[in-house]
A and B are shown apart, each in its own frame.
Chain A
Amino acid sequence: MSTIQVDLDGLALLAARLADVRARLTADAGSDLAGRCPDALVSAALQDVQQDWSRKRKLICGYLDAASSAVRQAAVAYATVESGVGRAAVIGGGR
Chain B
Amino acid sequence: MRLHAKPLDLPLGSPVLAATICAALTSPAGYGDELRTIAAALRGTAEALRIALRQLRSIAQPGSLWRGEAGRAFSAKLAEPSEVRLDEVPARYDGYAAALSSYASQVDEAHRDLAAAQSAAADAVRAYGVIVARPGAPPSAAVRDAEQACLLAASQYQRGYDQWVAAVNRCVDQLAVVDTTDHLHNPHGWHAAVDAAARVFGDMSTITAVLGVAALAVCPPAAPVLFATSMVASGVALGADIDRSVQFGEHVTTADLAFDAFGALPLAGAARGMRSAVRAATHAPAGASRAGVAVRAYGRTLGRAYRNDLWREPMQAVQEGKAAGGGGLRPATRPMATRFRDNLDEVGSVGASCVRDTVDHRDEGYARAAVRSPARVAWTPVADLAG
Contacts and interface: CB of A to CB of B under 8 A. Distances in A.
A83 interface: no
Contacts of B77: 66-67, 70
B96 interface: yes
A25, A46, A55: most-surrounded residue (chain B CB, <10 A): A46
A45 B80 contact: no
Nearest to B95: A49
B168 A41 contact: yes
B163 to A, nearest CB: 15
Given A14-B56, A21-B48, A49-B179, A41 B4 contact: yes
Nearest to B172: A45
Contacts of A28: 45
A49 B178 contact: yes
Interface in B33-49: 34-35, 38, 42, 45, 48-49
Nearest to B47: A21
Contact of B55 (A14, A57, A59): A14
Given A17-B48, A18-B52, A38-B29, A49 B96 contact: yes
A89 B38 CA distance: 52
A60 B84 contact: yes
A76 interface: no
A88 interface: no
A51 B103 CA distance: 21
A57 B29 CA distance: 33
A48 B48 contact: no
A66 B176 CA distance: 30
Given A5-B65, A53-B179, A25 B45 contact: yes
B338 to A, nearest CB: 50
Interface residues of B, number: 50
Given A14-B55, A53-B185, A70-B74, A45 B175 contact: yes
B78 interface: yes
B360 to A, nearest CB: 39
Contact of B52 (A14, A49, A74): A14
B51 A59 contact: no
Contacts of B31: 38-39
B28 interface: yes
Given A39-B31, A39-B35, A42-B100, A21 B52 contact: yes
A95 interface: no
A63 B168 contact: no
Contact of B172 (A42, A54, A55): A42
A35 B80 CA distance: 32
Interface in B262-287: none
Question: For chain A, what secondary structure do more than half of its interface residues adopt (helix, strand, loop), or is it mixed?
Answer: helix
Given A24-B48, A67-B56, A48 B2 contact: yes
A37 B35 contact: yes
Nearest to A5: B65
A3 B186 contact: no
Interface stretch (B85-93, B128-136, B143-151, B373-381): B85-93
A4 B176 contact: no
Given A3-B65, A21-B48, A38-B35, A63 B80 contact: yes
Interface in B214-238: none
Contacts of A18: 52, 56
B103 A42 contact: yes
B107 interface: yes
B169 to A, nearest CB: 8
Interface of B: 1-5, 28-29, 31, 34-35, 38, 42, 45, 48-49, 51-52, 55-56, 59, 65-67, 74, 77-78, 80-81, 83-86, 89, 92, 96, 100, 103, 107, 168-169, 171-172, 175-176, 178-179, 183-186
Given A49-B178, A53-B92, 20 more contacts: A4-B66, A10-B55, A14-B56, A17-B55, A21-B48, A25-B89, A38-B35, A41-B3, A41-B169, A48-B2, A49-B96, A49-B185, A52-B179, A52-B186, A53-B185, A56-B186, A63-B80, A67-B56, A70-B74, A71-B56
6 contacts: A39-B35, A41-B3, A42-B103, A42-B175, A56-B85, A70-B77
